Amino acid sequence: MSPTILQIDTCNGIRTVTINRPDKLNALNAATLDALDAAFADAAADHSVRVVVLTGAGPKAFVAGADIAEMNRLSPVQGRDFSLRGTRMMRRVEKLNKPVIAMINGFALGGGLELAMCCHLRIAADSAKLGQPEINLGLIPGFGGSQRLLRLCGRAATLELCLTGAPISAERALQLGIVNRVVPAAELEAEATKLATQLANAAPLALRGMIDCVNVGSECGIEEGLEYESAQFGLMFATDDMREGTGAFLEKRKPGFHGR
């Protein structure tokens, strides 16, 4: 993995992954997709990592989209393969058994919004702009934009964003349910760190179980989802963290979770 593509820092169980192509507004080319895939595979395997924060370098963009100069040269088969490459990486993020927070510091357009949506939580600066502008390039979303938007904000809003290609404000994205929180740009890093710290101190196995339940439930019927939740709930009773959490409650003290 080229150190120039991503900046990766870990502190107190929080791993911050920064896409480092500010001159290209952090656009997603093939090399960046591969670097992100490797970074999230490493985060999954590293037991010291409890939460991942994903953001973009520079003041302008989280990710302004896919790399148009690279896409312009692709054949239909190469275009499909590029889409599948990005989709596989984003599914890795979505299925990571540790919380992933998108810290949206600027433009999150096209592939950038798709990347943000596969994260578990999204905090946006009030100056951020979000959208799926592929229609303006004679394209459609290729990394799951139509599918994740549909699940987050419904058919009408999805069609509006994808058919018009017009960007929306962070506040409108909040109203539509695309982002979880909007904060002043100057407070974005502090708020993301506060949330990440809260999650890093939570019970890791319970976090994993909740992420799994939501992922399964979003892709199946209610009966199957309820059955899966009950099974995961039962598994928690085999963990030291469950005994610690309930014991701490009864003893009126703060719990200390260790992921066991």
Domain ranges for the chain: 6-200, 204-250
Options 134, 171, 187, 227, the catalytic residue: 134
Segment 175-212, tens digit of pLDDT: 999 999 999 999 999 999 999 999 999 999 999 999 99
* pLDDT for residue 242 is more than 60: yes
CATH of 6-200, one of 3.40.50.720, 3.90.226.10, 1.10.10.10, 3.40.1080.10: 3.90.226.10
C-alpha distances out from residue 63 to 59, 75, 218, Å: 11, 24, 26
In the annotation, is 223 catalytic?
A: no
Segment 36-63, tens digit of pLDDT: 999 999 999 999 999 999 999 998 999 9
Q: Which pLDDT score, from 0 to 100, does residue 1 have?
A: 42
In the annotation, is 191 catalytic?
A: no
* pLDDT for residue 260 is more than 90: no
Tokens of 44: 């999954």
Instruction: List the one residue out of 109, 85, 93 whose CA is nearest residue 162.
Output: 109
Q: Which pLDDT score, from 0 to 100, does residue 57 have?
A: 96
This prediction has a pTM of 0.93
Residues 6+ apart with CB under 8 A from 256: 244, 248
**What is the third-level CATH fold of 204-250?**
Lyase 2-enoyl-coa Hydratase; Chain  A, domain 2 (1.10.12)
